[in-house]
Amino acid sequence: MIKKVLIANRGEIALRIARTLKRLSIPYCSIYSDADKNSLHVLLSDEAYYIGPPESIKSYLNMDKIIEIAIKSNSNAIHPGYGFLSENPEFAKKVKEAGLIFIGPSIESILLAGDKIMSKEIAKKVNVPILPSSPGINNFNDAEKYAREIGFPLMIKAAKGGGGKGMRIVYNKDELLEKYELASKEAESAFGDGTIYFEKYISKPRHIEVQIVADKYKNVLALGERECSIQRRHQKIIEESPSPYIDDRIREKLFESAINFARAINYENVGTVEFIFDENKNFYFLEMNTRLQVEHPITEWRYNIDLVEIQIKIANGEDISYLKNITPRGYSIEARIYAEDPMNGFIPSPGKIEFLIEPAGPYIRVDSGVYLGYEIPVYYDPMISKLIVYGNNRNEAISRIICALKEYRIFGVQTNIDYLIEIFSSEDFKSANYTTKFVEEFKYSQKKPTKILLDIANSINLNKKTIQQTQKTHSWKHKVSFWEI
């Protein structure tokens, strides 16, 4: 049984996990790098351990150090969150060998799902539709051969990849050599393996995923789907559930495919099976993410569940068959708030938050990792919070998220908030007429600041000393114990 948990992550997801553990009265501890000593997930912890320098490879990716801290802090379980080591089979193996509980799937499932080529073969065997694709490619002769077989356009992908790394679209044979070499080098740099593969490219795709939960009693359930087609640089920025693109007949087939794949790799815990849809609403298997997703809150709201709690129950060997009786309700949308400049290629905008008001109200949830005076570091992903809303229907949810976004007041760093407001206000979004190409085609006007925003900005400039003094004298409600091993 889980007695104490080390949260092997940072920012809003570390805080999100911590809140469930607190509610369940399960002790936990946090870790932090030099860049994160003043992060919210640390300041709200009762116990925080220093993990290393700001660079991820020396801190949040340091497997041995994390396990050492878990043992010395008397933790008997590790929750990896998402990103970093969450889908690393070597880390899951080390955790298990140290006699600790890994709050996630088995090493074998992570390996099978993580190998993009192997996972497609498994999908094919259990009658889950897949796109025409190649086996792993490590030389240009094979690249030319499989390009001829699949035909152009095609997508190059990293065999061990994700998050858009190593991906290139090839429209004709003249582009093949250059893009093959670029993709292979990027895959080698990002994942330590330059193997790539080809996949038939769909020009106007939709990206829809299915939430899976599975326990050791062979209960494998699909808890709805999430539409994730609005992305920049192959990373999602808006998600909604249910998808406005599919009907109940397609939804049933989609869930069946997701469950079949999860069963085929003997999956246990929470995971997500991702699919791509073409213009005729045919769907194809993409991959399975063997972890909690960034966008998990929209599923939680529709099903009135806590997916982190479900992860803990499964890791404790509990039966989750009761989830079969839960009926989803309403509509939920999530927007990711980034410190970045949408007018300049979404370049990150690190810096100090000089002023902050976050939205609140009925059916509005903010999973935030920042506060007034917080210095956003340059070393990590620039997402600072997630805004999640619920409505009885899609129109109500859209109206609510627009109103909530307009309540944000952030000064000191650039954000994508106005950009998100324009997307949600657009006719293409309201009519659900969008694909993964939406961001490339969207014309952002970047409206001028309203008078109230200018007044606040002027007030900040005039009263900077007062703001700084407020930050210095602000006291937290309980004392944090900082530890160093």
Q: What average pLDDT does this structure show over 174-190?
A: 92
Please report which confidence band the pLDDT of residue 473 belongs to, taking 50, 70 and 90 as the band edges.
Answer: very low
Read off the DSSP letter of residue 111: H
Pairing, β 351-352 against β 375-376: antiparallel
**Distance, CA of 280 to CA of 213 (rounded, Å):** 29
Mean pLDDT within 240-253: 98
Q: What is the pLDDT of residues 273-282, one digit of tens each?
A: 999 999 999 9
Higher pLDDT among residues 354 and 458, named by residue: 354
41 pLDDT exceeds 60?
A: yes
Residues found in the chain = 485
Check residue 446 and give its pLDDT. Answer: 67
The string of pLDDT tens digits covering residues 72-122 is 999 999 999 999 999 999 999 999 999 999 999 999 999 999 988 899 999
In the block, which residue shows the tokens 């791509």?
276
Is residue 449 over pLDDT 80? Answer: no
Q: What is the mean pLDDT of residues 360-364?
A: 97
| Choice among 16, 168, 232, 291 that is catalytic | 291
What pLDDT is stored for residue 265 in this prediction? 98
pLDDT at 455 over 80: no
Looking at the predicted structure, is the pLDDT value of residue 477 above 50?
A: no
Tokens of residue 239, six digits: 């998600």
Q: Is the peptide bond before 362 cis (omega within 30 degrees of 0)?
A: no
Q: Concatenate the DSSP letters of all residues of 205-272 into one string.
A: -EEEEEEEEE-TTS-EEEEEEEEEEEEETTEEEEEEES-TT--HHHHHHHHHHHHHHHHHTT--EEEE
Q: Is the pLDDT of residue 472 over 60?
A: no
- When mean pLDDT is compared across 193-197, 379-383, 479-483, the lowest value belongs to 479-483
**Pairwise pLDDT comparison (99 vs 458), residue with the higher score:** 99
pLDDT given at position 257:
98
pLDDT in the model for residue 481: 65
- Please tell me the predicted confidence (pLDDT) of residue 3: 98
Q: Check residue 203 and give its pLDDT.
A: 86
Element spanning 483, H or E? strand 481-484
- Does 291 qualify as catalytic in the annotation? yes
Q: What is the pLDDT of residues 197-229, one digit of tens each?
A: 999 999 889 999 999 999 999 999 999 999 999
Closest listed residue to residue 98, CA positions, set 73, 57, 64: 64
The pLDDT of residue 254 is above 50: yes
Which pLDDT belongs to residue 482? 63
Q: Which helix (H) or strand (E) holds 143?
A: helix 140-150
Bin 81: left if φ > 0, else alpha if -120 < ψ < 50, else beta: left
Tokens 């995971």 belong to residue: 271
pLDDT average, residue stretch 51-75: 97
User: What pLDDT shows up at residue 166?
Assistant: 84
Q: Could you give the domains of the chain?
A: 5-103 (3.40.50.20), 132-200 (3.30.1490.20), 206-441 (3.30.470.20)
Q: Name the residue with higher pLDDT: 70 or 345.
A: 70
Mean pLDDT check: name the lowest of 190-194, 328-332, 401-405. Answer: 190-194
The residues that bridge with 277 in the sheet, in sequence order, are 206, 283
Q: How much of the chain is helix, strand and coil, in % rounded to 5? A: 40, 25, 35
